[in-house]
Structure 1
Amino acid sequence: MPEKSKTDAARRATLLIFLVCGIGLSSWAPMVPFAKIALGLNDADLGIVLLSLGAGAILTMPFSGVLINKYGSRKVALVSALIVALFLPLLLLAKSSFILAATLFVFGSGVGSIDVSMNAQAVLVQERFGKHIMSSFHGMFSLGGLLGSIGLGFLIKAGLSPAVAAVSISVLLVLISVTQFKHLLPHSEEHKIESGTLVLPKGPVLVLGMMCFIVFLAEGSLLDWSAVFLQFSRNFDPSLSGVGYAAFSVAMAVMRLTGDGIIHRLGSAKVVLYGSLLAAAGFLIAVLAPWAAAAIIGFVLVGLGAANVVPVFFTAAGRIPHVPPSVALPAVTTLGYAGQLAGPAMIGFIAEVTSLPVALGFVGGLLFVVAFTYRHRD
């Protein structure tokens, strides 16, 4: 196969792996209310259970780098995708909160591992292209968020049981992953990933990491709580409760697919300022306006605003003076994913003490902190 064709095939395959990750993770969003009702969980109990997903992902991420060093990112991506596909329907079959938490832990491990491996592939493909194309990969992940959240609800509305609908999604994930495996770049073309001892973040790395934590928390709170909010606070039909995360994912996908041009025109500081303010406004509109449509509009604004903030943070992490990227990037990334995958458990505790709208409004308040903390940076 000619080199250009091989590179193009690798790019398409990597895009589809990002799609698999997005579909797999977001399919959990409309399943949360079913699990909550089936097990009789209150918001605090659900928050504790949801913590398992984040714990599995975060604890697996450091080991994923070791596995990629040994076996290559495409093998790790395939195995991780199969784990996600296998455990997705099992989330609805759990008979107790403990079993659900354990299943979520393994599911989260698969999500964390595929996230690391697909980004490793994306770096390789981008190097081959010789230009910045990373936003398109993350845009495909957001598109997967749309397809997963609204697709599972559509299958349920069509008459399938939630478990059968989840199995259908899983079959699709397996088919995509297996067919695209051969097109991913082999281990022989990968660079060794540094695997030194962990360094605790401090100074500007810690500040940047905490801002990344907040923005990822905003994303994660919609993944885990938007369907619950729409169903129990805005009286949405269960089969339509995933539409909020779907709307958020569409907005984020559009903005990420056009993000490189936006950052080039406005500059990174303005993208963070305007984006964080817009996302904060979205949360406040969703929880303060009593109309169902306002909640969807609010989630769209969150997607539009937050989409390009994290790419700016990752770029900034690689440019912190006197701090090697090999130290800054893993620290910022880990703190960020802690916000997305573990942070929503905090929402459950706040919601139990106050209410879910108050908890989501609190996230909006944190985004104002991000906007005005980063305003003097570039």
Structure 2
Amino acid sequence: MSTIIEADQKIPGLREQGATRLALFIPGVILSAWAPLVPYVKARAGLDEGALGLLLLCLGLGSILAMPLSGAWARKAGCRTVITVATVAAVLMLPVLATSASVPGLAVALFVFGAGIGSMDCVANIQAVIVERASGKTLMSGFHGFYSLGGLAGAGGSAALLTLGVAPLGVAGIVVVLTAGLLLWARPGLLPYAAKGDGPAFALPHGVVVFIAALCFVVFLAEGAALDWSAVFLTAERGVEPAMAGLGFAAFSLTMTAGRLIGDRIVERLGRARVLLFGGLLAATGMAVAVLVPAWPAALVGYALLGAGCSNLVPVLFSAIGRQTDMPEHLAVPAVTTVGYAGILAGPAGIGWIAHASSLPLAFGVVAGLLALVATSSQLLKL
């Protein structure tokens, strides 16, 4: 069974809990530091929107392909080795992305960058499952909260540096140095093993893991909708000025981060099943408010409710992976993470197709309905 820790493997303690938080904070910083550099890449390489979109697919493709491989590698080499190598690979791509004007070079760099981010995310979650279970406490929401904090720090810090006149290469260099320091600090607490389990290195998800993965797909789809479509919705449907269109995702991000940072206490007080129920209903309500109330401030309230509702859904579902017995977690975590990423990547495209065939409000309504289904699943999972 995957829950067995061998006799020569130290049971994780406080040091490992701190390292897990940093292991999730780091990819949040690196990935969000890349976002403000995208316009510079577009201008330097002379890309139009369509070409840029195709180029950015390389990042998602690298992540999706690396996740199952990283889970298999962690089983053999341990979480510490995989997280270290993946972090170095990802962060060293930032200076390339900040300076290259070659489209093939950028494509390769984005693929490696995405593979590193995906591997870090996947294996950090494997460590998080092991560490939370060993502690006997509820920790997963707080772990994921540090990923959100990393996102805010990376995006805000990079944008501030660029505004102050720091060149993209300078920003990338600062992120490299910061990441190196954080990795060295975290490394002693990263697990030199991953949970052991019988079976092949790869396996298709089965049993309850398929259900958990499907629920994660919906939640990540909702997050992708907020990321990729909130600004479009506010400008096209609510008449908001483009300069203010980012307020929707800002409202979502702030409540998402706050909800995760206090989420462990919420889960301990309400229980996982109620968090899944109430969180799904709150997220669905937020999306419905954004769609049904015509005033643009109501849309901001809706996105804030969406972030608060979604904040602890994925942490609760990842905790459920550590309690299921259908698959060892070195297989289950990559499977669920991969399907979740597919929701972020493919979901917004699906929203675009629905919007093209009917309307963007209807597409958001579909997302609200799916979130309501996530809420009802609380009675079907062993949480």
Q: TM-score range by the shorter chain?
A: 0.7 to 0.9
Q: Is the 8 A contact 1:47 1:345 kept in 2?
A: no
Q: Give the whole-Å Cα distance in 1 for the aligned partners of 2:334 and 2:137.
A: 23
Q: Give the whole-Å Cα distance in 1 for the aligned partners of 2:105 and 2:300.
A: 32
TM-score (norm 1): 0.78
Q: Cα offset for 1:345?
A: 4.6
| Residue number in structure 2 paired with 1:76 | 82
Q: Is the 8 A contact 1:81 1:114 kept in 2?
A: yes
Give the counterpart letter for 2:47 in structure 1: L
| Residue number in structure 1 paired with 2:49 | 41
1:51 aligned residue (39, 54, 57): 57
Q: Cα offset for 1:76?
A: 1.8
Q: Cα offset for 1:164?
A: 3.8
- CA offsets per residue over residues 67-88 of structure 1, 9 Å max, x none? 3234332122122112222223
Q: Cα offset for 1:194?
A: 5.1
1:283–1:95 distance in 2 versus 1, CA, 3 Å: farther
CA RMSD of aligned residues (A): 3.8
- CA offsets per residue over residues 70-121 of structure 1, 9 Å max, x none? 4332122122112222223544555476654443322110011111332343
Give the counterpart letter for 1:248 in structure 2: F
| Residue number in structure 1 paired with 2:341 | 337
Give the counterpart letter for 1:211 in structure 2: L
Matched, 1:184 2:184: no
**What fraction of aligned residue pairs are identical, expressed as a percent?**
46
- CA offsets per residue over residues 218-258 of structure 1, 9 Å max, x none? 22344455577778984444xx8766545433322222232
Q: Cα offset for 1:214?
A: 1.0
2:147 aligned residue (138, 141, 144): 141
1:366 aligned residue (370, 375, 380): 370
Q: Give the whole-Å Cα distance in 2 for the aligned partners of 1:221 and 1:96.
A: 31
Q: Give the whole-Å Cα distance in 1 for the aligned partners of 2:39 and 2:228.
A: 9
Matched, 1:63 2:66: no
Q: Cα offset for 1:59?
A: 1.0
1:157-176, aligned counterparts within 5 Å? 157-162=163-168, 164-176=170-182
1:1-20, aligned counterparts within 5 Å? 7-20=13-26
1:1-378, aligned counterparts within 5 Å? 7-32=13-38, 39-42=47-50, 47-93=53-99, 95=101, 100-126=106-132, 129-162=135-168, 164-181=170-187, 183-185=188-190, 187=192, 190-192=194-196, 196=200, 198-201=202-205, 204-223=208-227, 234-237=240-243, 244-286=248-290, 294=298, 296-317=300-321, 323-326=326-329, 330-347=334-351, 362-374=366-378
1:208–1:15 distance in 2 versus 1, CA, 3 Å: closer
Give the counterpart letter for 2:252 in structure 1: F
Q: Is the 8 A contact 1:147 1:246 kept in 2?
A: no
Give the counterpart letter for 2:171 in structure 1: A
Unaligned stretches of 5+ in structure 1? none
Give the counterpart letter for 2:145 in structure 1: G
Q: Is the 8 A contact 1:33 1:227 kept in 2?
A: no
The number of residues matched between the two structures is 367
1:217–1:347 distance in 2 versus 1, CA, 3 Å: same
1:311–1:56 distance in 2 versus 1, CA, 3 Å: same
Q: Cα offset for 1:62?
A: 1.7
Q: Cα offset for 1:304?
A: 0.6
Q: Is the 8 A contact 1:58 1:337 kept in 2?
A: yes
1:60–1:190 distance in 2 versus 1, CA, 3 Å: closer
Q: Give the whole-Å Cα distance in 1 for the aligned partners of 2:373 and 2:56.
A: 25
Q: Is the 8 A contact 1:54 1:342 kept in 2?
A: no
Q: Cα offset for 1:200?
A: 3.3
1:358–1:319 distance in 2 versus 1, CA, 3 Å: same
| Residue number in structure 1 paired with 2:3 | none
Q: Cα offset for 1:144?
A: 1.0
SS in 2 for 1:39: coil
TM-score (norm 2): 0.77
Q: Give the whole-Å Cα distance in 1 for the aligned partners of 2:198 and 2:339.
A: 18
Q: Give the whole-Å Cα distance in 1 for the aligned partners of 2:96 and 2:355.
A: 27
Q: Is the 8 A contact 2:62 2:115 kept in 1?
A: yes
1:317–1:301 distance in 2 versus 1, CA, 3 Å: same
Q: Is the 8 A contact 1:143 1:250 kept in 2?
A: no
- CA offsets per residue over residues 274-299 of structure 1, 9 Å max, x none? 22232233345456667765554433
